[in-house]
Amino acid sequence: MKIAPTRFDKGENRMTARALKPWLFLLPALTIYLIVIFVPSLYTFYLSFFKWNGVAADKVFVGLDNYADLILHDSVFARALKNNLLWTAGSLILMIGIGLMLALLLNKRIKGRIVFRGIFYFPYVLSGVIVATSWAWMYNPTQGFVNKLLETIGLESWTRAWLADPETALYAVFIAALWQGVGQPMVLFLAGLQTIPHDPYEAAVLDGAKPYQSFWYITFPLLRETLVIVVATTMIASMKVYDIIYAMTGGGPAESTQVLSSWMYYQTFKFANIGTGSAISFFLVLITMVVIIPYVYYTTKRSHL
């Protein structure tokens, strides 16, 4: 009996089926992502070209005016952008640096490892509001822990109103954010360190390698994937940072701690400038994209696989 050839017998169609496969695996994530994030963002992007208060029947098309106004006429926007860049630099160096250091320290088989890991992860678990109020109270100029501590160890000249001085406010908030945030990179690095096989280390030790050489030539390259994750997350989070700053200073004093997200919040929710708020959001995305996308592509190429 002659059996009619099925679709999958033909070589061409076998390739189509194979080409289709990734899309099937991607389908759930893609669908949900499009619905929840992508399409709403497109709508907001669209709104950034209008002047609108969110409710009125007519929106006024203004082209790139919202963007131009922000860059040319909005001093708070400029300050916010600068603050975000500072915050990002600080996070990339300190948040990642300390997180990595903690992960390396806690990767060894030392006593109390679980307790230590828990302690460093604990602040990350607290809600932003509690972290913000607690640190704000610690920074209280007359009754706060920070100043009292400085006085006790004889550094009274260093005491100041940390959150009230535009020069120090952002950094003071950053330290609180550092305390809260290193738990995440630490956890990510710990997981990453676990996927590194032992063999290279054994071989290296047999070859007489010192610990720092092991780290630099074995650990670091193999942590590359984890590093991509941590750098991408840290940078994106730094550009989007909002909760802790808004709760600790409200963007003040004198708008000196405004960041893009908080200024966007003011524009959208307090001033009903929907177009401007949307434009700020997209600035944020654009700046982040311009750095992260090339970074990811670059590190993808230099894969060890």
Which range touches another protein (CB under 8 A), out of 4-12, 84-92, 150-158, 182-190? 182-190
Distance CA 64, CA 219 (A): 47
By CB under 8 A, the residues from 17 to 36 that bind another protein are 18, 21-23, 25-26, 28-30, 32-33, 35-36
Both tokens assigned to 252: 């003040």
Distance CA 132, CA 56 (A): 36
Which residue among 15, 17, 89, 119 contacts another protein (CB under 8 A)? 119
Identify which of residues 3 and 110 has a Cβ nearer to another protein in the complex. 110
222 interacts with another protein by CB under 8 A: yes
178 interacts with another protein by CB under 8 A: no
Identify which of residues 150 and 161 has a Cβ nearer to another protein in the complex. 161
Which residue among 163, 170, 177, 245 contacts another protein (CB under 8 A)? 163
92 interacts with another protein by CB under 8 A: no
Which residue among 13, 16, 213, 300 contacts another protein (CB under 8 A)? 300
CB of 154 to another protein, least distance (A): 18
141 interacts with another protein by CB under 8 A: yes
Identify which of residues 38 and 217 has a Cβ nearer to another protein in the complex. 38
Identify which of residues 3 and 81 has a Cβ nearer to another protein in the complex. 81
Which range touches another protein (CB under 8 A), out of 4-12, 88-96, 150-158, 265-273? 265-273
97 interacts with another protein by CB under 8 A: no
Distance CA 85, CA 283 (A): 13
Identify which of residues 5 and 208 has a Cβ nearer to another protein in the complex. 208
Which range touches another protein (CB under 8 A), out of 6-14, 89-97, 109-117, 150-158? 109-117
Identify which of residues 137 and 220 has a Cβ nearer to another protein in the complex. 137
205 interacts with another protein by CB under 8 A: yes
The closest of 253, 236, 241 to 92, measured between CA atoms, is: 236
